[in-house]
Amino acid sequence: DPASSSASDSASDTVTVDNCTITVTKSADAEAICSGSSTTYDFTVTNNSAGFTWSGTFVDDVVGPIGGQPLVLAPGQTATFNNVAGPVLTANSTNTATADGAFNDPASSSASDSASDTVTVETCRIIVKKLTVPIEAPVSTMFEFTGSPAGSIGHNQTIQQDVTVPGEYTTE
C-alpha cells in the first residue's frame, strides 16, 4: 500500500446480569400449641429478578398447595399468604414450603427456594380444684374458671358452679 494507510475499529457491548432467584419465607403463627389443636401459617415468595417473570408451584409438605397454581410473579413482585390454616397436630411438626419453577429469560433459568418452621405440640391440661371452707351449706356460692385448656373445656369457655356445698371439687 503506497499511502501507508491504517485502519482500526472497536465495538463494545454491555451485558446486564439479572438476579434470577426467588426467596421463600414461612412462619407459624403459634410456635407451640396443645395436642389436638392447629395453627395458621404466613408465607411469602419473592421474585428477586428485576427483568424476568417467574412461574412455578408453591407447596407446603403438610399444608398442601399455597395460592393458585401455577404461581406467577412479575419482576420484583412478592406474593403474601397470611393465616393459611394448618392441620390438627398431635406431635411436633416441622414442615417445609417449597417454590419451584423457572423464569421467562432466554435460558428459562430454573429457580427454587424452601423455608421450614417447627411447631411444638404440648400436652395441655388444667386442673381446677375448689375447696369450700364454710362448714354449713352456703345458700349461694358462685365460682367460675375461664381459660384455654384442651379436652372437654373449649378455649375461653367458662365453667360455673352455683350453690357449692362444702367439699372438694376437681375438674380434669
Task: Tell me the β-bridge partners of 164.
Answer: none
Considering 10-19, 28-37, 90-99, 123-132, the range whose residues carry the highest mean pLDDT is 90-99
Task: Tell me the β-bridge partners of 117.
Answer: 95
Q: What is the pLDDT of residues 88-143, one digit of tens each?
A: 999 999 999 999 999 999 999 999 999 999 999 998 876 666 555 555 555 555 55
CA dist 56 and 108 (Å) reads 12
Q: What pLDDT, on the 0 to 100 scale, is given for residue 149?
A: 42
Q: When comparing pLDDT for 35 and 4, which is higher? A: 35
Cβ atoms within 10 Å of 46's Cβ, excluding its own: 19
CA dist 157 and 123 (Å) reads 19
| DSSP notation for 61-122 | TTTEE-SSSSEEE-TT-EEEEEEEEPPPBSS-EEEEEEEEEEESSTT--EEEEEEEEEEEEE
Average pLDDT score over residue span 71-97: 96
Predicted confidence (pLDDT) at residue 18 exceeds the cutoff of 70: yes
Share of the chain above pLDDT 70, in %: 71
3-state secondary structure of 2: coil
Checking 66-69 for CB contacts under 8 A at 24+ apart, the result is 66/97
Q: What is the pTM of this model?
A: 0.68
Predicted confidence (pLDDT) at residue 49 exceeds the cutoff of 50: yes
